[in-house]
Amino acid sequence: MVQIALAWLLANPAVTSPIIAASNMKQLEENLTSADVSLSKADLERIDRIAPPKGPYYT
């Protein structure tokens, strides 16, 4: 879930730099692997159907 959430942020042009936090090495590694996750346009559309975008930070 963490990797998908961070990958979504990385795919959003309104987000210039996601801020991550970790309490231990395992959490840090999970956060960093999100850079390897590639979401397709279909993936992003499905996520938007599940959790509709709203607010000023969505483009």
Structure tokens at 10: 């990385």
Rounded to two decimals, the pTM is: 0.77
Quote the tokens at residue 28. Answer: 């840090």
Could you tell me the residue ranges of all domains in the chain? Answer: 2-50
Distance CA 27, CA 5 (A): 14
pLDDT, tens digit (0-9, with 9 covering 90-100), for 10-57: 998 888 888 999 999 999 999 999 989 999 999 999 998 998 877 766
Residue 35 DSSP label: G
Q: Which of 11, 47, 6 is nearest to 30 (CA)?
A: 6
Q: How many residues does the chain have?
A: 59
Average pLDDT over residues 3-15: 89
